[in-house]
Amino acid sequence: MFQPPVFTRRQSIAAAVSIGGTIGISPLMRSIAAVAAEEPANDQRHCVLLWMSGGPSQIDTFDMKPKHNNGGAFEEIATSVPGLRFSEHLPKLSGQADRLAILRGMSTKEGDHERGTTVMRTGHALGGPVRYPAIGCSLSKSLRNPVSKLPHYVTIAPGPFARSSLSPGFLGPKYAATSVSVSGPPGSDNFAALRVDHLQPHPQVDAPRFQRRLALWESMQATFLQTRDTPNVVAHDTVYRSAIDMLGSDAKDAFDLTGEPDVVRQAYGSGTFGQGCLMARRLIERGVPLVEVTLGDGLGWDTHANNFDQVKRLSEQLDVGWSTLMTELADRGLLEKTTILWAGEFGRTPAINSNGGRDHFPQAFSCVLAGGGIAGGQAYGATSADGMEVTDGKIDQQDLLATLCAALGVDPASENIAEGGRPIAISEGSPIRQVLL
């Protein structure tokens, strides 16, 4: 049985240092310490965006109101952090609450799916004169790994909805996310099948044939470049060579989950989200700076009716996928270099409607930060007893994104140049110091 250790690497090493000399250290701790000592200096940071499509219910997850009529059907449970309580359907995450900072004072102005998605993903309202890039594009540009053959930003199962909010905007298509999609029904092993678009040559083109094509292609490119070495022609050649490098390298194995033991695949959950979290771990191990995993294909969290059954089911997927990802990253010493943001386009109404559902609610909802750079084990901000308004620590999407940047060591004020030469900061908000390490 797969048994997740319960401490972070940082804690393990601290423990090893403080107690190792006197009472000896366990074999597990010794091996982790050894790995840490041998690790080459590598300051590559990573970001995982866990996107909850449809707008997750804060009251049924991270901001429970058990004493109020609005509280709903779920019980709250204690977590590893005294005083911090989550939904009963998040037991594994409760065990890792020391890694999570719950932001309970989120508030935006957009209660429509497309507009809300755009605001949360880009920091800006839809329809302005500037095409703001998705935060994943800006961050992957700042965090990009110059030696990696893999893409800088991979989005897993993004679903068909509000695709323009994933757009690199004025940064240009170079910074677009590589999309991993669900390639059909689960295989015979019952795990969700995930596939990168256009990663494989056409089926009738086998490897030797592809190599023959490339050989003659290279010669054509070289001849043309000899007399026409303008920047756009050189860039075409460079980008093609990176793509060909990736196709020919082991790096693309990162996308192949069949090499993972079944027990590990099972630990993440067999659905799209769980397998996506496993792929995220494999990509981060190989140096990819930014991975986004979507839960709720289409608008799964849009629980206007029958809220509790749906949120229970989604919470179970969320709980195993996310908690196993943190555990496995921590085992590899990568959690402290990886900042995780959990968010959707808005929250849901505290009041329960006549269909047993909850409706769109951007006024007061929760997001969660975890991992590298984040002071876990706390809730920042609070909502009123009925959940209707933020009473403390009110923040908007700009503050949230600025905090994410700061946790990753990226200055939120760093500027990119928009159309027409206008410099635009990644985020104009103020980082929340209390949740940063």
Q: Which residues bind other proteins (CB under 8 A)?
A: 126-129, 131, 151, 164, 167, 170, 172-179, 197-202, 204, 209, 212-213, 216-217, 219-221, 223-225, 227-233, 235-237, 239-240, 242-243, 246-247, 419-422
CB of 296 to other proteins, least distance (A): 22
What helix, strand, coil percent values describe the chain, rounded to 5?
A: 40, 15, 40
Q: Least Å distance between CB 420 and other proteins? A: 6
374 token code pair: 């984040």
φ/ψ of 54, rounded to 5, equals: 110, -25
Q: What is the DSSP letter of 133?
A: P
241, HSE (Cβ side, Cα atoms, 13 Å): 10
Q: In the complex with other proteins, which residue's Cβ is closer, 220 or 263?
A: 220
Taking each helix axis from N to C end, the angle separating 135-142 and 397-407, rounded to the nearest 10 degrees, works out to 20
Nearest-angstrom CA–CA distance, 393 and 133: 27
Q: Is 278 helix (H, G, I), strand (E, B) or coil?
A: helix
- Shortest distance (Å) from residue 242 CB to other proteins: 5
Which lies closer to other proteins via its Cβ, residue 51 or residue 175?
175
Q: Report in angstroms how near the CB of residue 252 gets to other proteins at its nearest.
A: 10
Q: Which is nearer to other proteins, 126 or 425 (CB)?
A: 126
CB-wise, 22 or 232, nearer to other proteins?
232
Whats the size of the chain, residue-wise?
437
According to DSSP, the residues that pair with 293 across neighbouring strands are: 50, 156
State CA 388 to chain mean position distance: 28
Tell me the β-bridge partners of 156.
180, 293
Distance CA 291, CA 254 (A): 12
For the bound state, the minimum distance from the C-beta of residue 133 to other proteins, rounded and expressed in Å, comes to 12
Kindly tell me which of 6 and 239 has the beta carbon lying closer to other proteins: 239
- Closer by beta carbon to other proteins, 30 or else 228: 228
Query: Residue 188 or 204: which CB sits closer to other proteins?
Result: 204
* Shortest separation between residue 292's beta carbon and other proteins, angstroms: 14
Q: Quickly list H helices, 249-393.
A: 262-268, 272-285, 307-331
Q: Which of 397, 368, 392, 341 is nearest to 102 (CA)?
A: 368
**CB-CB contact of 179 with 196 (8 Å):** yes
Shortest CB 221 distance to other proteins, Å: 6
How many Å apart are CA 96 and CA 264, to the nearest integer?
19
Closest contact distance (angstroms) between CB of 149 and other proteins is: 9
Using CA atoms, how far apart are residues 388 and 179, in angstroms rounded to an integer? 37
Q: How far is the CB of 323 from other proteins (least distance, A)?
A: 31
Tell me phi and psi for residue 300, to 5 degrees.
-55, -35
Nearer to other proteins, 129 or 185 (CB): 129
Closest approach of other proteins to the CB of residue 333, in Å: 28
Between 228 and 313, name the residue whose CB sits nearer to other proteins. Answer: 228
Nearest CB to other proteins, comparing residues 9 and 149: 149
Dist CA 56 CA 120 (whole Å): 13
In the complex, minimum distance from the CB of residue 69 to other proteins, in angstroms, rounded to a whole number: 39
Which is it for the CA torsion 417, 420, 421, 425, positive or negative?
A: negative
- Distance (Å, whole) CA 187 – CA 181: 15
Going by C-alpha positions, the residue among 235, 201, 210 that lies closest to residue 221 is 235
What is the C-alpha to C-alpha distance for residues 91 and 70, in angstroms, rounded to an integer?
Answer: 22
Residue type, 426: I
**Judged by CB, which is closer to other proteins: 18, or 227?**
227
Nearer to other proteins, 189 or 419 (CB): 419
Closest contact distance (angstroms) between CB of 33 and other proteins is 38
Q: Name which of 69, 102, 71 is nearest 88 in CA terms.
A: 71
